[in-house]
Amino acid sequence: MKIIPVIDLKDGLVVHAKQGKRDEYQPLNTPLCQSADIYQVINAFLNIHNFDTFYIADLNAITGQGHHEKLLEQVLLNYKGITFWIDMGYQSDPQNAMLPKNYLPVLGSESYQDENIAAFENYRNDFILSLDFADTRSLGAKTLFTNPALWPANIIVMTLERVGSHAGPDLQKLHDFTLHHPGKHFIAAGGIRNAQDLIDLNNTGIHQALVASALHSGEINSDDIAKLQTKKYPD
């Protein structure tokens, strides 16, 4: 099981995401990290485990209220050994985006509509797709949910109402994706509470997960991660 720590950026600070209610997100202050500075948050995660991949959501860019491009460029330079999956909302041309070797764009369905998904062709499958859900509703371009030919190899299944909710991942939804699309690699996002959730995901066929709250609270710690990676947990 590969755990990918999540960082949500808003107005220059790392915020605590909860149930997709972005207007209510507050600057981060948790047992793991009392600072909302992105560098301190990254270092706090790295003190748990030597993670090689991080996911960052630029909430200003996603909501059309500015962006953190300069800050993110500096982060990429300062952590060259880490790959950053970054969602900056709608992007049409990868040549206009940041393209260092440790940057991989996340294209979220919520940022696209059917009339502009042709922009996906510009990325030549060199991106992570995020299929975004709110409750049972799919968000954004409907074609992205019905046409797997548009999908890259790695796909996040993002259930926004479960983010920060401690409700557990949507195992049924994730199981359905793995069952119907065995050639793709799906990544769980939203609701992961503890190591048992990760074990359940692994048994469902999900081997990557975006995690934030459970790392900040200590419900998933370095010992849990080591055991998961060495398969010491029973099924």
Residues in contact with 14: Cβ distance below 8 Å, sequence separation at least 6, in sequence order? 7, 8, 27, 28, 36, 37, 38, 41
Q: Is the pLDDT of residue 132 over 50?
A: yes
Averaged pLDDT of the chain: 91
Give the distance, in angstroms, between the CA of residue 3 and the centroid of all CA atoms in the same chain: 10
Q: What pTM does this model have? A: 0.93
Tell me: the pLDDT tens digits for 185-223?
999 998 999 999 999 999 999 999 999 999 999 999 999
Domains, the chain, in order of start with CATH, read 2-229 (3.20.20.70)
List C-alpha distances in Å: 134 to 109, 137, 182, 214.
Answer: 12, 5, 24, 21
Q: Return d(Cα 172, Cα 21) in angstroms, integer.
A: 23
Give the pairing of strands 154-159 and 137-138: unpaired
Q: Is the pLDDT of residue 101 over 90?
A: no
- Residue showing tokens 């060259």: 80
| pLDDT of amino acid 122 | 87
CB of 219 closer than 8 Å to CB of 31: no
| Banded model confidence at residue 235, pLDDT cuts 50, 70, 90 | very low
Q: Is the pLDDT of residue 93 over 90?
A: no
Q: How is residue 116 annotated by DSSP?
A: G
| Backbone dihedral angles phi then psi of residue 115, each to the nearest 5 degrees | -75, -15
Beta-bridge partners for 188: 157, 209
Q: Is the pLDDT of residue 37 over 90?
A: yes
Collapsing DSSP states into helix, strand and coil, what is residue 215? helix
| pLDDT of amino acid 211 | 96
Tell me: the pLDDT tens digits for 144-177?
999 999 999 999 999 887 886 678 899 999 999 9
Q: Return d(Cα 123, Cα 199) in angstroms, integer.
A: 33
